[in-house]
Structure 1
Amino acid sequence: MPDFKYSIANVPDIDQRWTSLPGGGGAFCVPTSTMNWMYYIANHGRPSAVVFPPADPSASSSTAMNVLMLSLFMLTHPERGTSGRTWHQGLDAWLKHRQVPAIALLFTVEDDSWILFDRLQQCAAAGGLLTIARGRYYKINGEYFRGGGHALTVVGLSSTSAGKQIVVHDPAQDDSDPETQSSPKKSTGNLTPMFGKFDGTLATMLRWGSSESPYELIDHVMIIFPLFAVTNLRGGAITVYSASLTSDAVEAREIPTPLAAGIADLAIHPAMRVAALGEGSGDIVAVDLISGDSRRLARLPGARRLAYGGRSRRLFVAQDRHVVALDDHGKEVSRAALDRPIDALAFDAAENRLIVASVSAGKLLRLSPELRHHGSHELPHVPGQGRLSLTVDEGDGALRLTRAGSPHVAELQAHPTNARAPGASPLRSGGVVPAERVKERGAIHVSAAGRIATFDRDGERVEGSPFNGLPAGPLLEVARSYSNADPEKMRRPEWHNR
């Protein structure tokens, strides 16, 4: 691999210890290292990224208040710190609340392939803003066990024949005075891959330095990535729209695929890839959105719909009366037979369930990631006769359905904690909107009459969405935040970062 050097300038280096923070801020490394990026975004054209201006760490009073506000979103404990799960949930909510056009991608030791240097390199080069957690591990009977960790802001990466290095801002460095902000200071670590059994998981992680008491390993990678959308404007190619984190600009690029006959469905993989289904062929290709490369993933005759989901990032493929789960290499890992045709798929991340819509059965089926049946709901009436689309609101879990050519969205709130009767409502824009495809991220993004339009939960047009008015094909997918963190593991004190 050729030499690589990445460096990002003018990133703040906020101290985590402040007299005004609970516990003096000693456990606030996660909101502090993440707030560095909010200040960076605010200083480069999006001031809404912070609550209390100015976005200048030297303004001590506002700095501590901004860290405190973000810590409330992340449920930071003044002694234990922040778990990876609440870190991700809090950051995702903050980005939406502050109207920053970005998604939060969290990968932990559960996902071996994303702890390696080459993918960090690719994400940084593609515009991702990286924060890591460096876990402290202790070796007991040949296995490594975590004993807490610390979050750091990544401002540099390099790979040469001499080795790999990471450059960070450490929020706990040079902050001995809890009343004032210290001067920025960079720390550098040498990285080497290390394979082992870590808290029950066989994985390769990046080891920081050479300490054995404890071993220091990168076991969380949080990436703030520009919000993007994928559509099929022409033939077998996909068009990718990427919002800028530092301006109102939107980059558009076309990526060709080998699906010359056209694309029947699209699904966004959390690791910055897209699965595209060939029209009429059953061919499924994986497109890397960073490199632009395409590769054939699988061929499933009769395949009609795609959906990604779950901590293992399975690709679920609907054939006429079967659902098939594929791994990242296109290998079939499970299959379920249904007694009625399948019309739409979506994954409910909050409930860790695949939702399958069958119009002829009049049902929404709930399947586990292993494709075991977990109940069903009555399918709400969806006005229109066109192709059915299904999405799950990542905030409240509402299931929303629409049909090509119809201006209505049908909604069903099926979660037992917030059950609500089904109903359909129109999208209001001063005229009929032929909604061909609906996906949403706190809003409803629609491909309508060849253009992208955004609506709120009440069906009113949302102005200011970065993709409004851009050309769209019949398929439209908008990226969502993602985390592979194990909820049970993240509840344990040793998996908090401070």
Structure 2
Amino acid sequence: MNRTIQLALRAREGLVPALVLAAVASSSPARADVIRQSWPDADSYTYRIVHMPDLDQRRLETETVPGLPSTGRMYCVPASTMNVLAYIATHGFPEVPPEPHNWLDPVYYDLATGNLFLIGGLMSTSPTGGTGLGGLHNALDILLPLETFTYSTYATAGGYTPQFRSLAESAVNGGLVLFTHGWYSEDGMQGDDPIISRGGGHALTLTQAYGGLFNDQVYVRDPADDPPNTSQSAYSERIYAVQNRTVVAHGETRVMSNFQVTPGEWTGRYLDTYTVIRPKAGFSFTDWGIVHLGPIDLWDTSPDSQIDIDAIAQVIDVAIGPDQNYLYYVGRVGASYQLYRANLLTRESTALAVAPVPTEPRITFGRRRTLYQLAGDQLFFINPDRMSWYAVPLPATGEAIGYDDAADEVVVLDAGSRSIFTYPHHLDADAEVLVLPSAGVLPLGDAPVLAWDPFRDAWWVTSEAVDDVFRIKHLEGTWDVFKISHDVLVQPTSVDVDDAGHVFVVAQGGLHEFMEEPGGDWVLVEDSPFAGIPVGRKAGITKSRTNYDPELHDGPQWNNVLPTDFGPVVLDCRGDFDRDGSVGFSDLLQLLARWGPCPRDHYCDEDLSFNGAVDFSDLLAVLSAWGECR
């Protein structure tokens, strides 16, 4: 499963060795760093992660110390992203750039600068304009091990507006979060609502979030809260109150989350983009239950954590929601079929306000957060964020449905006419009809299933009547067809594909993972973390998704702009290993228990002197910090 990509980019000769990415899942142990994690309801959630780096973006170049272009003024996205990548590297995945290091150690300052420059290069970061969403995605596609991690990025677009509580819910649900608050100016009023326009934005890394009746509270790593210099500053958090406000922005009336230095005082900071990075997961279902497989822990590559959700109707089909916080499913209710949404945190199901249908449907999500339901000869467009929907007629009855993220198209397969119908994402044009190859080339059988392959921009098709899985791609009027055959592929009932192009097939009650070797041969992944897990007739694998639209999100108003003021600061408390707000006996005992050399794959939190071991210098540092944190 190893895939190594060497990045030969260099900021300047001798500045930093080439980054090396190996998509290898290490089984090294790590500490449980999410020390607060609860979601009883949306008004009283708690989340806190520790050991998240806080890299400075503003780096001054001197004759002896390398810096960043324009002193790093526009490097908030590379710095916030590197925070998360560095966290992953020190939690079981040491080959992920920038690899495990204690970035507070002055020895690694130049290395951090070089990595920021290289990440900025992958993101096409401009010294004057900053980083666009397309650049962020390009870097994540290269730097993240796609066999193990996915990312989701959603920005304000059309009828969708990111909400802070959705961001916090993703963090409580196991995601690492970086986000952007846009800088907005007020241009007038529309009734009681201010009209605001974006003039830039700034990227941050989430470390804490708390729900409240009147406003929420957020703690962040802000990469720009120190002036340009030649050394890494002490790690700290900035605190903001968060309150929703109705505004007119991007041509629509929206409810946007406002970040406030003083609670209750509106500012020009509004949440408009966030990215969640999390381990790959799977999902399946039985007649009366839904199963969430995983996610893969950051310190254990086996998805032994499993969430079982009791359904309130007989389950027919399941799709993972855009934020990976909800599973949507079709349930049979008497002679009709109803759509439901299951919350992975509360494990509660609620019916969607969409009319039941009399025909057994299939569902899938598009990258723009739209849920599509195929019900016989009807195709439904459903916006679960606004709970609106409509339907269009199909040329024939469809059996399978999928979504092509690259083309932004809904795809319906009709086995009877051996045709594929493709629609634009809004379903606002007639279908393009593509006739499939003959049965001798592509046997379909009854109840076919299909899945989009984001790695190869192709489709995979199978059915119980065929003991093979077929990859199909339409090229200039012809079809390229490729077949995977294997002894385990007996009456397959489901197929899906992850970001790395690995194919997952349900057959004989198990989930089987296949991968393509460099020479083109396909092999069964014997050590797949999903191997041996019993599943129902269908299983899916999470993928990276985004609603990024270059026409909307690449204009000058989406450039990065440095903050002019900051929320209250809280410095990390060195020596407070148990994070109880003071340095005391429990911290001393933890230091003594860690005494000696640090593990190879992780720096030690207790190594306060950065010398690679816990020793008397660290003991003296703890004793000197004894008492309440300041």
TM-score (norm 2): 0.71
Deviations 1:40-84 (A, max 9, x none): 111121213225453645322332333334334433223211113
Cα 1:163–1:274 change in 2 (3 A) is: closer
Corresponding residue of 1:172:
224
Cross-structure match for 2:435:
378
Match of 2:584 in 1: none
Q: Do the aligned residues in 2 keep the contact of 1:195 with 1:202 (CA within 8 Å)?
A: yes
Aligned length: 488
Partner-residue secondary structure (3-state), 2:523:
coil
Alpha carbons of structure 1 residues 57 and 494: separation in structure 2 relative to 1, 3 Å: farther
Deviating more after overlay: 345-354 vs 449-458: 449-458
Q: CA 1:161–1:231 in 2, change beyond 3 Å: closer, same or farther?
A: closer
Please list, as runs of the form range in 1=range in 2, the aligned pairs for 1:386-405 lying within 5 A after superposition.
Answer: 386-404=446-464
- Match of 2:54, SS state, is coil
- Please tell me whether the aligned partners of residues 133 and 221 of structure 1 are also in contact (alpha carbons under 8 angstroms): yes
Structure 2 counterpart of 1:344: 400
Unaligned stretches of 5+ in structure 1?
none
Equivalents in 1 of 2:552, 2:48: separation in Å? 33
Give distance in 2, aligned partners of 1:255 and 1:431: 28
Tell which has more relative contact order, 1 or 2 (C-alpha 8 A, sep 6+). 1
How far did 1:274 drift?
Answer: 1.8
For residues 405-444 of structure 1, the aligned pairs below 5 Å read 406-414=466-474, 421-428=479-486, 432=489, 434-441=491-498, 442=500, 443-444=502-503
Displacement after TM superposition at 1:366 (Å): 1.0
- Check 1:162–1:146 CA distance in 2 against 1; reply closer, same or farther (3 A cut): closer
Counting only pairs closer than 5 Å after superposition, residues 196-235 of structure 1 correspond to structure 2 as: 196-209=247-260, 215-232=268-285, 234-235=286-287
**CA distance in structure 1 between the partners assigned to 2:490 and 2:77 by the alignment:** 43
Q: Which residue number in structure 1 is paired with residue 236 of structure 2?
A: 185
- Residue 133 of structure 2 corresponds to 84
User: Which residue number corresponds to residue 456 of structure 1?
Assistant: 515
Give the AA of the match of 1:79: T
Pick which of 430-439 and 364-373 moved more. Answer: 430-439
Report how far residue 145 of structure 1 moved: 1.0
Higher Rg of the two aligned structures: 2
Helix, strand or coil: the match of 2:233? Answer: coil
1:285 aligned residue (336, 340, 343): 340
Determine if contact 2:492/2:505 at 8 Å carries over to the other structure.
yes
SS of the residue corresponding to residue 123 of structure 1 reads helix
- In 2, Cα distance between the equivalents of 1:471 and 1:451? 5
CA drift of 1:328 comes to 1.3
* Shift in CA distance, 222/356, structure 1 to aligned 2, threshold 3 Å: same
Residue in structure 2 matched with residue 327 of structure 1 by the alignment? 383
Find the counterpart in structure 1 of residue 559 from structure 2.
496
CA separation of 1:31 and 1:385: change in aligned 2, threshold 3 A: same
CA 1:345–1:51 in structure 2 vs 1: closer, same or farther (change >3 Å)? same
Q: Which amino acid aligns with 2:338?
A: D
Change in CA separation of 1:23 and 1:364 when aligned onto 2, cut-off 3 Å: farther
SS at match of 1:324: strand
In structure 1, the residue matched to 2:154 is 107
- Asked if the contact 1:317/1:323 (under 8 Å) is kept, the reply is yes
Secondary structure at the residue paired with 2:113? helix
Matched residue SS, 2:557: helix
Distance in 2 (CA, whole Å) between partners of 1:431 and 1:276 is 28
Aligned residue for 2:466, secondary structure, equals coil
Post-superposition offset of 1:192: 1.8
Rounded Cα–Cα distance in structure 1 between residues aligned with 2:388 and 2:239:
42
CA distance in 1, matches of 2:359, 2:544: 30
Give CA-to-partner distance per residue, 1:136-162, whole Å, 9 cap, x none: 111223321111111011111123467
| 1:197/1:388 CA distance change after superposition, 3 Å | same
Q: Is the 8 A contact 1:135 1:147 kept in 2?
A: yes
Post-superposition Cα deviations, 1:321-375, rounded to whole Å, max 9, x if no partner, equal 2212223179663322223221211011221110111122222111122322252
- Residue 10 in 1 paired to residue 78 in 2? no
Residue type matched to 1:367 in 2?
Y
Which deviates the most, 278-287 or 222-231?
Answer: 278-287
Determine the structure 1 residue equivalent to 2:34. none
Query: Which moves more between the two structures, 185-194 or 47-56?
Result: 47-56
Q: CA 1:140 to 1:49, structure 2 compared with 1: closer, same or farther past 3 Å?
A: same
CA distance in structure 2 between the aligned counterparts of 1:470 and 1:405, rounded to whole angstroms: 23
Paired residue secondary structure (1:274): strand
Query: Could you say which residue in structure 1 is the equivalent of 2:288?
Result: 236
Q: Provide the rounded CA distance (Å) in 2 between the counterparts of 1:415 and 1:192.
A: 50
Q: 1:32 aligns with which of 79, 86, 92?
A: 79
Confirm or deny: 8 A CA contact 1:84 1:220 kept in the other structure.
no
Paired residue secondary structure (2:95): helix
Q: Do the aligned partners of 2:514 and 2:524 also contact (CA within 8 Å) in 1?
A: yes
Counting aligned pairs with the same residue, the percent is 24
Equivalent-residue separation in structure 1 for 2:338 and 2:83 (angstroms): 44
1:48 aligned counterpart, secondary structure: coil
CA drift of 1:24 comes to 3.9
